[in-house]
Amino acid sequence: MKIVRTTYLSLGTNLGNRIENLQSAIDEINISLGHVLKISSVYKSKSWGFDGEEFYNICLEVSSSLAPERMIKAVLGIEQKLGRRRNSQQGYNNRTIDIDILLFDDEIIFFNDLKVPHPEMLNRRFILVPLSEIAPDMIHPIAKKTILTCLQNCKDLGVIEKVNSVLTRPISLVEKFNYIAIEGNIGSGKTSLAKRIGDDFNAKLVLERFADNPFLPKFYADEERYAFPLEMSFLADRYHQLTDDLAQFDLFKNFIVSDYFIFKSLIFAQITLPKEEYVLYRKMFDIMYKEIAKPDVYVFLYQNTERLIENIKKRGRDYEQNIQADYLEKIHKGYLSFIQSKEELNTLIIDVSALDFVNDENDYQIILKQILEFNPG
């Protein structure tokens, strides 16, 4: 798991609907950077270094697992998304949104254009006033003084006025869900997505141990002979793994993400087993299913068959290379039938056929936003 650090940001805007600009930036930060913990009051001040409309400024406390280089890229992406257009002109100018990284825990960072602590923060009351509101006892790593003391020593005489507007702190994935299960057909990217979410949100990651199953290569070579032992071994492994990991729920920050749910066993068994063997299998499954904790949200990644086959060939597992399109379509129909029959499972279907969430950050953020905005019934 990544190290989670506390980061302080300064946000400013002087174009358009300034409150909407700030709220939009907060919402995007909560998705792209990390969990927004605190939001200061909104403060109004004159434009700094040029003649322009008055600025609205706030500071945020954010818990993030992003490294500095990824964080600055995410910040620039949010600014651009919200309409900021940087140009080659020297000096200050009007902007829809301006996001500065002020502090990154107690670290001192010089990375390309990123300098932390922000080199001008101690000279600007419009930064120190909102920052001292949410982090008065935070020690500035260079000045070696608290933020409140830095504010008291600040020589800036600019007038800072509190605005009678309240911004909303968005809920993060960690707050909203305790257990997320991600499912999909073979090659849909469920494991890649689970790993990314687990890494970014410091979650307990539960991954299916399919690579250790000795029957899997044999099944792909002779389905009729090895279908029943394969499905029974999968069922036993999934049951033991989920009961063991979910029983330790509180030990892992109350947030678990898995790349499968046990009902997957029944879907594949329906396809691979003859009727008599399936009846026996179903009896065993029903006993185990009652004992398994259900996820807060069951995310199903829909991927069209052509893309599935491309992904399977790309990842290059020898025993998967002979999987046919009709087999994948049977699995897909099995999932849809299951989803339609289990309304209480809080299912979120996301079409990822046109998304590359492994290599495209924007596509990954699209998926995160859909999960975050999902409201279980």
Inter-residue contact 136 to 8 (CB < 8 Å): no
Angle, CA of 160, 166 and 169, to the nearest 5°: 115
C-alpha to C-alpha distance for 321 and 55, rounded to whole angstroms: 59
Cα–Cα separations (whole angstroms), residue 215 to 4, 34, 212, 316, 330: 40, 41, 9, 19, 21
Residue 51 catalytic?
Answer: no
Pick the catalytic residue: 5, 18, 27, 98?
98
Going by the DSSP 8-state scheme, the letter that residue 171 receives in this structure is P
Phi, psi of 5 (to 5 degrees): -120, 155
Nearest residue to 135 via CA among 27, 4, 7: 7
Rounded to an integer, what distance in angstroms lies between the CA atom of residue 206 and that of residue 213? 16
Using CA atoms, how far residue 180 sits from 103, 163, 169, 183, 338, in Å, is 32, 39, 22, 10, 18
Active-site entry in 70, 100, 196, 237 = 100
Diameter of the chain by CA atoms? 84
Tokens of 352: 């990822």
Look at residue 9 and give its three-state secondary structure: strand
95 is catalytic: yes
Q: Of 95, 124, 125, 307, which one is the catalytic site residue?
A: 95
Could you tell me the two tokens for 272? Answer: 């691979």
- Told to judge if 317 belongs to the known catalytic residues of this protein, a careful annotator would answer no
CA–CA distance, 107 with 93 (Å, rounded to integer): 29
> Which residue of the set 5, 18, 84, 124 is catalytic?
84
Residue 84 is among the residues annotated as catalytic for this protein: yes
The C-alpha atoms of residue 246 and residue 368 are separated, in whole angstroms, by 23
Active site amino acids:
84, 95, 98, 100
